[in-house]
Amino acid sequence: MKFKNLESSDILLSSFEVHKTFTVTNEDTGSGVYPFQITKGTDATQYGWGTDTGLKTTLSGSTFYSIPNYYVINNMFYRDVKQMYEAEPNGFNSRDEFGIQSKGVSGVYVDHTVDYISAVPTSSEAIISYTETRNLYDIQDKPSKLILRRPHTRQLRDTANVISVPQELYGEYIKIESVRLTDDSTDTTIILQDDGRGNLYDVAYSASFARRHPDSNNSGSVVGNVFYDHGIIVITDTGSYSNVGIATGSNGFSLQFDSSQTIYEREYVCSVGEGEFQNTTNRSLKIGHSGSISFSGSAYTSTVEGGQLNVLSTGSIISTNQVRVERNSKALGVNTGDTILVIDNGNEYERTVSGITTAATTVTFSVNFYDPLIYTGTDIDVQVTNRLTANKSYKNTIDDDYPYGLTGFATGSYKNKVYEIGTELIGEATHSHFATYVTTVGLYNNSNELVAVGKTAKPIKNEKEMILNFVVRFDTN
């Protein structure tokens, strides 16, 4: 087989994103969609918390603890505004992909997926300061407190509802502006949608949300958040939306979203120059080959001794993994790793020799314990023969010994012997106008391992004076 290296200019790698719409419900916990409630711990529930008594939700054999998960989600997404920013190397303000100037905070800039402006009511501040009590660090007469800041759109209260979507469904991330949560936990169906910046709003109040002017009941404000890269949806509003996303049965929810996956298109240009790949490995063009290879389905003997067993010696099975035979030149010719056939009253045991013990008049063959012989405690006369010279019935199926016993044997003009391919081409293949045909192009890695195969729609003649270019293209993720 001939190989030809590809140049870097012969390889083109491009990528594009694809999306698929999924719709899941509260009944899809078996697919990894888990709705559960999280709760902020109090002194009593937090420090006395245990897996046996702690608040929890069990779904399809998975348990979600309310208090621990509250702090996990809070610390990842809500605790402090600095966790929602990315460092600017020189501490300068930056512009996002839309050219909008981002407000720098102590030499950092806002991640574009964190909306701290467009969804903020006109009457509210974009950044809100709050005090976090840190009871673990308390000392007598001096409770420990920490002043933190977070966006108005990232406010986690004492309780929240969470819907967790598995990565096998959302892929690399949930596509922005694709989330739509329909909930029937109240008398009126509630539909929540994301605004493309990680905020959830009630579509019934979409006009108020767009104007950034909630009504007197605060309807039209942010009711939750979507964390696209993590497949997590959090309902933070504890008023009218306190049961959204956690009810069951007919009061459950339906969640629609688009998954995202990057597909890499790989293109390889395989060039065949003038006079290249003119040799063939087709054995039908070798001298001495005529007709086709076929296999017989009737009994076929692999022995060259007229079907007679080539008996090495006779003896007895002395244990489940030992056979002792009379010592002779044939028995002494067996080596460790050879295969022997033990014939006991018509029963055949084909075993690999793992050890040999030679005495003055006997030879003992040991076989592996994991493939024992049948030993009744009484010496049984047996014959030990060469495996390859025993009569076998071949049907050319997987029940035969690999490679099915008959591989390399032929009928027709051939004799019953292994076919050895010739080394010289027939006259037609040596003609000056003879040319090979290309049907398959294989791509190999640096270890000469086949990694991709391209097939042509029909055989392509490889003319000696022509240059052929084959383009192999396939996609991976």
Q: What is the pLDDT of residue 210?
A: 82
Q: Is the pLDDT reported for residue 307 higher than 50? A: no
Contacts of 372 (CB under 8 A, 6+ apart): 320, 321
Q: Please give the residue that has the higher pLDDT: either 120 or 160.
A: 160
Nearest CA to 182 out of 149, 204, 156, 166 is that of: 204
Q: Is the pLDDT reported for residue 5 higher than 60? A: yes
Fold of 311-389: Elongation Factor Tu (Ef-tu); domain 3 (2.40.30)
Q: What is the pLDDT of residue 477?
A: 84
8-state DSSP, 5: P
Q: What is the pLDDT of residue 388?
A: 43
pLDDT band (50, 70, 90) for residue 254:
very high
Q: What is the pLDDT of residue 378?
A: 60
Q: Is the pLDDT reported for residue 264 higher than 50? A: yes
Dist. CA 360–CA 367, nearest whole Å: 21
**What is the pTM (predicted TM-score) of this model?**
0.60
Q: Is the pLDDT reported for residue 352 higher than 70? A: yes
Long-range contacts of 297-304, Cβ-Cβ distance < 8 Å, separation of 24 or more: 297/395, 297/396, 299/393, 299/394, 300/392, 300/393, 300/394, 300/405, 300/406, 300/409, 301/391, 301/392, 302/388, 302/389, 302/390, 302/392, 302/394, 302/405, 303/389, 303/390, 303/391, 304/389
Q: Mean pLDDT throughout 197-203?
A: 91
Peptide bond into 403 cis (omega under 30): yes
- Average pLDDT of the chain is 78
| E strands, 293-449, in order | 311-319, 322-326, 339-344, 347-358, 362-367, 381-386, 436-444
> What are the pLDDT digits (tens) for 308-332?
455 678 888 888 888 888 888 888 8
> What are the pLDDT digits (tens) for 97-142?
433 444 444 444 445 556 667 788 888 888 888 888 766 666 666 7
Lowest mean pLDDT among 15-29, 47-61, 117-131, 382-396: 382-396
Q: Is the pLDDT reported for residue 464 higher than 70? A: yes
> What are the pLDDT digits (tens) for 360-412?
999 898 887 666 777 766 656 667 775 444 444 444 454 444 444 444 444 44
Q: What is the pLDDT of residue 422?
A: 62
pLDDT band (50, 70, 90) for residue 169:
very high
Our CA dihedral for 268, 273, 275, 280, rounded to 10 degrees, sits at 0
Write down the domain spans for the chain: 11-68+161-272, 80-156, 277-289+423-471, 311-389
